[in-house]
Amino acid sequence: MAAVGIARGLGVTLRNLFRRKVTTQYPDAIRPKPVRFHGRHVLNRYEDGMEKCIGCELCAGVCPARCIYVRGADNPPDSPVSPGERFGYVYEINFLRCIFCGLCVEACPTEAITMSNLFEWSFTDRKDAIFGKDLLLVEADGTPRHKGSPYFDPESLRESGGWMRATSPSGDGDYVGVGGWSSDAGYGVRPGEAGQRAIVDAPETTAEDHA
Amino acid sequence: MDWVDYLIRSVVAVVVFAAILGTCTLLVWFERRGAAWMQVRVGPNKAGPFGLLQTVADAVKLLTKEVFVPDSADPLVYRIAPLLSLLPAFLALTIVPFGPGFHIGDRYVPMQIADLNIGILWLLCMSSIAVYGYILAGWSSGSKYPLLGAVRQSAQVISYELVMSLAIIPVVIWAGTLSTSGIVEAQSRYHWYVVPLIVPAIAFFVSGIAETNRPPFDLVEAESELVAGAITEYGGVRFMMFFLAEYTNIITISAITTTLFLGGWNGPILFGTIAGWSVVPLWGLFWFLLKTGVLLFVFIWVRVSLPRLRYDQLMTFGWKIMIGVNVAVVLAVSFVIALMEQGALPMFWAPPGR
Amino acid sequence: MTQTHHSRARVIPPSVLRPVTQTDEGSQEMMRPGETNVVAVRRQRGIITNADFDELLDAPEDETMIINMGPQHPSTHGVLRLMVELDGEEVLRVQPVVGYLHTGMEKTAEDLMFIQGSTNVTRMDYLAPMTNELCFSLAVERLLGVEVPPRAAAIRVLMCELNRISSHMIWFATSGMDLGATTVMIHGLREREKILNFFEKTTGLRMNHDYIRPGGVAADLPDGWERDVADILDVLPPRIAESRELLDDNPIFQRRTQGVGELTREEALALGVTGPMLRASGVKWDLRKAFPYSGYDQYEFDVPTWDTCDVWGRYMVRMAEIGESVRICRQVLDSMPRGDYRVQDKKVTPPPRRRIDESMEALIHHFKLFTEGFKVPEGETYVAIESPRGELGCYLVADGGSKAYRQHTRGPCFVHVHALPAMMVGGLVADAIVTIAAADPVLGEVDR
């Protein structure tokens, strides 16, 4: 009886010997990220290159880790940075404090801050953990800026803001799949999830052209 | 014996020593990859082809670490303990016949460092000395967890040493010799001793696992209980010595089990060996390595599959079951042999030379 | 040069040099029986019921060893510190010392709006973040007097039950590791991985989700969730059954767990032990049945119990609970209601993103909610739910503002850690390890 018990255990490990292994060979193989992945934040632009951030500080206000520092300033009349009156003059996130809860993304009224799929970055100095607009703001064509990684999959950069879109109905069943977010430079209006029902309106018609 | 014979012996010794070091490196890799595969993992695969150089990298890391002695340790004993563990491990291997000897011209080249006529006693002797390495390491570290490990080691070793000796006695009676090469010779003529002596064979291997402090009998190290047991306070090259000793011991136990019970370098014919099978020495070496390799795999297989025993359960198992059974086997074997010699039983499984 | 180096040695003022017993660390030293009082010794020996304590103080003094197990030890599951008095390998006294992971989360909760609160509590029991969030959210909802929509309740049940499986799987893994069964560990983590992948797909994070919030859940289930959940429920039970082959019939495992870490029914009740530990002592007590919350009364499930009062019983109860969780998940899968998944109260839930651009009122609500949060009426409440480890309670006091006046968590692990002496005394060191593993402490929740 005892020998049978031991033999059964030995059998399990022997069977495992011939099974497909479960380890993901990162970085040689990269696990696909889910749409809602909470990666590093990016500051988005409208399709005409205008910044979406209006410096309202809602993100800083709701951040439970208090890692966001925003200062707004009036747009210069001759060369406005954002479509409204004001723009985010200073925008810093301290990634040593950030807990990636995504509340800033939900709070942002203009979808300026969203979460990308970037997660491979490091720093050797605490000061480097504070990312300013120079790193957070996307390029004019909508590509997130990053310090690069030999293993990074550039395709996955196209996936961004999934958490913002997933939370946009805010629990209202009537608004599931309705959209409500603006278009991004280089990508247009990104499709949302179908949710409980198929998207009622085509994404194009729900786009509000802020620019 | 003239100087050429001594030279031959020296060359054999150097070759075996180098081979053991290389095998240890391979064994660590084999264990890590094998254990990983049995746990649906991949294991080390980055350093070198298939991760073969992982152990080398680890060894380099350990060698370049600071050599230190803890403040509360007994400095002399603390330094001696690793040597006391490693040296007997190597010395025990000297009696293992890796293959049949062969002739170059009229010179005889043994594939064994020392063919002692008391070979088995030498093995028991060396394994008894080796345990002092762990005991003294634990005692001299001046720390509580190592001390517990040392206490466990002394108790465990005394019990399983006894089991091991009792498991060897039937072989010795059957073969009529203490020499390891003699035992292999004896098995080449009739049968492997695993056939009549299956119980001592299992007992020997199990107590071998216990002697080498391998899971599920790794109470001396017992990571989850005693951190690293007797060698908690060791690091760098001294730790590496213990590590090397452990793996050398694994090889020794596998090799001795092969020698005593699995026919040594004999080919896979259980009852009598086809003439000429084992004449080619390298062929014999192949069978020896294959059988040893299978036993090494069993070491790893058992390790990944079974939970660890408790200290008192290990003692109970050793004293109440293993020793009792083996004493009975020794008596039975003696009785059978006596009957054979008296002619009361046919000499079917007869020992050679009788 | 050497001279100057020596002369720069720091001089410690005499006022700082206190006897070690007066320092924070030293005052927790385990004293010899003769140097301390009966109450402490009684507690350390895990004596719950009235016994004669005259003999307690004259224990053999010279032949025992007091050893620190933790806070850095491979199997104290984090930074638990146990001071253990040993006679050889036998455990004579145990004194748990907690606080090495104290991060002041309960105090932090007083400085966070209720809308942010889930990000905080989810970090307490980090192996069962969903239950923490649920407990906090239920407390806030009770003070607010709101009822979440049925879909939100069903999603919560689904996530909590999946979390229970993943938590039990990591318990399975780590206790296997503590027993030296390493394959069990990899199997357990592999199974947990599958559930974490679903969590990541749903919440964007693998742990510390901030998903269950006061008023509902943050986001709807992701596209294709039915397939994912069905896959988990189909794949896991046979895999777990196979992993159990490594342990169930194994004589070593049976002897390592049966009769080890015994806690009788009376002791368990006296110590406030809950969850699988209590059920393994033969008490059929489950808050999901006793005080159903979040719609648990709609689902059919049993409360598995065992009467051996030992580690083996805890193992069997937890394994059976996985089966019950699978049962509940299947029912949720079949009966998931449609509709809202957050309470549609403008003062609690921010407006849908589309409404921000359509309505000024919505925009104002959005701004107010994300800066000031929502106000919770003055009052206090205690909500307890069945976490994978036992009764997880949230005591919440609101002063009418948008932040908690006081938030206290009643963690099951905290109670279980202090039940350790009763289970460990009389066993061996190896039993102590198994007993700790079977208590399944998560130090994040013990220390908070």
Nearest CA in chain C to B219: C430
For residues C260 and C317, state if they share a domain. yes
For residues C133 and C50, state if they share a domain. no
Spatial neighbors of B265 by CB under 8 A, at least 6 apart, are B97, B98, B99, B100, B111, B184, B278, B284, B285, B287, B288
Task: Collect all residues of chain C within an 8 Å Cβ-Cβ radius of residue B311.
Answer: 89, 428-430
Domain annotation covers residue B9: no
- Cβ distance A14 to B301 less than 8 Å, yes or no, reads yes
Dist. CA C76–CA B88, nearest whole Å: 36
Domain annotation covers residue C283: yes
Spatial neighbors of B62 by CB under 8 A, at least 6 apart, are B236, B237, B239, B240, B243
Domain annotation covers residue C354: no
- Which member of C120, C193, C342 has the closest CB to residue A170? C342
- Cβ distance B40 to A25 less than 8 Å, yes or no, reads no
Domain annotation covers residue C386: yes
How far does B39 lie from chain A, in Å, by closest CA? 6
Q: Which chains touch A (3 or more CB pairs under 8 A)?
A: B, C
Which of A116, A69, A76, A111 lies closest to A93, judged by CA? A69
For residues C61 and C205, state if they share a domain. no
For residues C127 and C93, state if they share a domain. no
Q: What is the mean pLDDT of residues C166-171?
A: 93
Lowest-confidence region among B71-75, C36-40, C309-313, C337-341: C36-40
Task: Collect all residues of chain C within an 8 Å Cβ-Cβ radius of residue B38.
Answer: 183
Domain annotation covers residue B83: yes
Q: Is the pLDDT of residue C59 over 70?
A: no
Give me the number of domains chain B comprises.
Answer: 1
For residues C116 and C44, state if they share a domain. no
Domain annotation covers residue C350: no
Q: pLDDT tens digit string along B252-267?
A: 889 889 888 887 777 7
- State what percent of residues in chain C have pLDDT above 70: 89
- Cβ distance A109 to C363 less than 8 Å, yes or no, reads yes
Domain of residue C34: give its range. Answer: 14-97
Task: Collect all residues of chain A within an 8 Å Cβ-Cβ radius of residue B306.
Answer: 6, 9-10
How sure is the predictor about B353, in pLDDT bands with cuts at 50, 70 and 90? very low
How many other C-beta atoms can be found within 10 angstroms of the C-beta atom of residue A155? 8
For residues C142 and C88, state if they share a domain. no
Domain annotation covers residue B50: no
Looking at C62, C97, C132, which one is the last position of a domain? C97
Whether the CB-CB separation of B330 and B169 falls below 8 Å is answered with yes
Domain annotation covers residue C56: yes
For residues C180 and C78, state if they share a domain. no
How far does A4 lie from chain B, in Å, by closest CA? 13
Identify the pLDDT of residue B143: 84
Tell whether B314 lies on the interface with C, counting CB pairs under 8 A: no
Give me the number of domains chain C comprises.
Answer: 2
Q: What is the mean pLDDT of residues C388-406?
A: 91
For residues C135 and C194, state if they share a domain. yes
Looking at C47, C63, C97, which one is the last position of a domain? C97
Domain annotation covers residue C363: no
Average pLDDT over chain B reads 82
For residues C254 and C301, state if they share a domain. yes
Identify the pLDDT of residue A200: 43
- Cβ distance C219 to A58 less than 8 Å, yes or no, reads no
CATH numbers and ranges of domains, chain A: 37-146+154-164 (3.30.70.3270)
Structure tokens belonging to residue B98: 């890796």
How sure is the predictor about C158, in pLDDT bands with cuts at 50, 70 and 90? very high
For residues C77 and C213, state if they share a domain. no
Domain annotation covers residue B54: no
For residues C30 and C168, state if they share a domain. no
C-alpha distances in angstroms, B215 versus B96, C182, C317?
Answer: 24, 10, 28
Structure tokens belonging to residue B259: 């020698």
How far does A150 lie from chain B, in Å, by closest CA? 17
Nearest CA in chain B to A14: B38
Tell whether C235 lies on the interface with B, counting CB pairs under 8 A: no
- Which member of A9, A21, A25 has the closest CB to residue B40? A21
Q: Is the pLDDT of residue C136 over 70?
A: yes
Q: pLDDT tens digit string along C366-395?
A: 988 898 888 999 999 999 999 999 999 999
Nearest CA in chain C to B34: C183
CATH number at residue C413: 1.10.645.10
Angle at C324 between CA C320 and CA C330, to 5 degrees: 145
Nearest CA in chain C to B149: C89
Q: pLDDT tens digit string along B299-336?
A: 899 988 888 888 888 888 888 888 888 899 889 888 88
Task: Collect all residues of chain B within an 8 Å Cβ-Cβ radius of residue A22.
Answer: 40-41
- Which member of A13, A19, A23 has the closest CB to residue B304? A13
Dist. CA C82–CA A193, nearest whole Å: 50
Q: pLDDT tens digit string along C237-263?
A: 999 998 888 888 888 888 889 888 888
Identify the pLDDT of residue C322: 93
Mutation to test the A interface, candidates C126, C354, C365, most A Cβ within 10 Å: C354
How far does C268 lie from chain A, in Å, by closest CA? 32
How far does A128 lie from chain C, in Å, by closest CA? 24
How sure is the predictor about C313, in pLDDT bands with cuts at 50, 70 and 90? very high
- State what percent of residues in chain B have pLDDT above 70: 92
Domain of residue B245: give its range. Answer: 70-341
Domain annotation covers residue B35: no
* ipTM associated with this complex: 0.86
Dist. CA B255–CA C314, nearest whole Å: 43
- Cβ distance C430 to B144 less than 8 Å, yes or no, reads no
C-alpha neighbours within 13 Å on the C-beta side of residue C78: 23
C-alpha dihedral, A76 to A80 to A84 to A85, nearest 10°: 0
Domain annotation covers residue C314: yes
Average pLDDT over chain A reads 82
- Cβ distance A13 to B305 less than 8 Å, yes or no, reads yes
- Which member of C149, C201, C249 has the closest CB to residue A5? C249
Task: Collect all residues of chain B within an 8 Å Cβ-Cβ radius of residue C89.
Answer: 148, 151-152, 311
Domain annotation covers residue B45: no
How far does C108 lie from chain A, in Å, by closest CA? 10
Looking at C97, C125, C144, which one is the last position of a domain? C97
User: Which regions in chain A score pLDDT beneath 50?
Assistant: 198-211
Q: pLDDT tens digit string along C212-245?
A: 999 889 988 888 888 899 999 999 999 999 888 8
Domain annotation covers residue B44: no
